[in-house]
Structure 1
């Protein structure tokens, strides 16, 4: 604190003696019972936080420190288990969300849960370029998208020697074409505003070749395409106010893992230095960080969330 602040948070004034110190960026206000509180409008320093904790005022600071307040996020694959966690986390951080998924009922249910004033549902086949364009043009007509999370996709475990052309094309379409289709329709608005965050969900399989999950050549190839697109687009728009990054999650603690044998689970954990499986909350928190002001100078990064497996 400043040297002229005395005990109990009082500040010395030559003419007025000690008076209660007003923290920088605070607005003085009173509760209905007449007691004074303070509301932070800037991120507090450590000294300010200690001051607020001492006078029981820290709750107001946390409320006003939501990192995505006023932003609008569009999340694809949002009605799935991971997508729902991401949407809830974004809303908790102050963002409004557009829930995009092929499953209309689940998307509508999530929007209702989050509140219609904060969330809206859009049902569309993300592999259909024209359908995506029509849907997202309508979504952006009144208000643009600040944050894009490309989370739609899914893998198929098929040995390469048994892989047919249809499965190959389906994997590329579900995991790579969808990223192109959505980004192509959202990016122009971001460039016009010179502000935007694009976060793609790739996979550690794009880096390691699928050592954690064998026989996933088509999936690994598609996710490697997402990695390449992320880096190339990041360079292309770096000086136009838009950042592009990707997450590369490793083995996840999905409901299906509960059915794994003890031997299979132990073998999996032996490949992970932290011996921890990923949780949806880990990805959601990483997304919030990359979408926040703290990540303004981070672009073209492929962030592994794999417990050190890729080291």
Structure 2
């Protein structure tokens, strides 16, 4: 009996979860994990072909929508187009451009901020407001430890770091604003995770990052997905406004 009670707190059965940036990497793994926990999935991504192909990896095919989070109207249109407001919103869509500040163009800056911060805010504003009107809902934002610290060998990502620091304050502010409306807002801040993004860096940089991580390795997408599931479930029912670091201990140094 005890185990069944514990398991039920982590279950997402009967819930609907909308995941942005769900065509690959962390977003895709989060969506797969939430479905395994019982949630119905609404999978979105900027590349409609790619997100449709990703849907083929699910045991139960999710609803699929092309969504550019930079376009606030398209988010409102999606909210109008789906049957009900989701119970869970996972703001995962994100990009990065690395360049010394001197060579970071206006377009580089806006390209990162428009997805990582503007798009996240637009999604929170649209779906979080609907959740607050309903009186229930959970938002989990995917941030980064780079919203808190500047990592060595990667100090030329001013726009990315600024965007993720912004995610932290959006998370905390909305958590306070909507707490008494039945909506919880939290974030997971990954460290170095094995992904297409980190695979773009030279091998010597990757080794240096691993060496400077107390656990001595990169994280895997499923390890972030488990943290997201916890924050999305009733197991974290008294947690809001928290940024959960999942960085292998990197920020402890």
TM-score normalised according to structure 1 size? 0.75
Q: 1:96-115 alignment to 2 at 5 Å?
A: 96-114=40-58
Name the structure 2 match of 1:294.
Answer: 235
Distance 1:112 1:199, change over 3 A: same
Q: Note if 1:163 corresponds to 2:109.
A: no
Cα deviations across residues 101-123 of structure 1 (Å, max 9, x unaligned)?
A: 1111122223344366x510010
Name the structure 1 match of 2:181.
Answer: 240
Aligned counterpart for 2:37 among listed residues 93, 105, 108: 93
For the 8 Å contact 2:10–2:229, the answer to whether it is kept is: no
Name the Cα RMSD after superposition.
2.3
Q: 5+ residue gaps in structure 1? A: 1-43, 50-60
For the 8 Å contact 1:98–1:122, the answer to whether it is kept is: yes
For the 8 Å contact 1:210–1:217, the answer to whether it is kept is: no
Q: 5+ residue gaps in structure 2? A: none
Name the structure 2 match of 1:134.
Answer: 77
Name the structure 2 match of 1:76.
Answer: 20
More moved, 173-182 vs 186-195:
186-195
Distance 1:169 1:266, change over 3 A: closer
Structure 1 segments (4+ residues) deviating >4 Å: none
For the 8 Å contact 1:74–1:98, the answer to whether it is kept is: yes
Distance 1:301 1:212, change over 3 A: farther
Q: Hey, what's the Cα distance between the residues in 1 that align with 2:209 and 2:225?
A: 23
Q: 1:185-200 alignment to 2 at 5 Å?
A: 185-200=126-141
For the 8 Å contact 2:28–2:54, the answer to whether it is kept is: yes
Indicate the structure (1 or 2) with the bigger Cα radius of gyration: 1
For the 8 Å contact 1:67–1:292, the answer to whether it is kept is: yes
Q: 1:47-58 alignment to 2 at 5 Å?
A: none
Q: How many residues align?
A: 251
SS of 1:246's equivalent in the other structure is strand
Q: Hey, what's the Cα distance between the residues in 2 that align with 1:215 and 1:282?
A: 27
Q: 1:216-227 alignment to 2 at 5 Å?
A: 216-227=157-168
Distance 1:161 1:68, change over 3 A: same
For the 8 Å contact 2:97–2:112, the answer to whether it is kept is: yes
Name the structure 1 match of 2:2.
Answer: 45
Cα deviations across residues 137-171 of structure 1 (Å, max 9, x unaligned)?
A: 211xx322100000001111110111111111111
Q: 1:221-300 alignment to 2 at 5 Å?
A: 221-254=162-195, 257=199, 260-261=202-203, 263-300=204-241
Cα deviations across residues 208-256 of structure 1 (Å, max 9, x unaligned)?
A: 0243522000110011111110011111111111111111111112255
For the 8 Å contact 1:210–1:220, the answer to whether it is kept is: no
SS of 1:190's equivalent in the other structure is helix
More moved, 201-210 vs 71-80:
201-210
For the 8 Å contact 1:87–1:97, the answer to whether it is kept is: yes
Q: Greater helix percent: which structure?
A: 2
Cα deviations across residues 66-115 of structure 1 (Å, max 9, x unaligned)?
A: 61001000000001222211111111110001111111112222334436
Q: Hey, what's the Cα distance between the residues in 1 that align with 2:29 and 2:172?
A: 26
Q: Hey, what's the Cα distance between the residues in 1 that align with 2:241 and 2:15?
A: 22
Cα deviations across residues 162-213 of structure 1 (Å, max 9, x unaligned)?
A: 1111111111101101101111111122112211110001111110024352
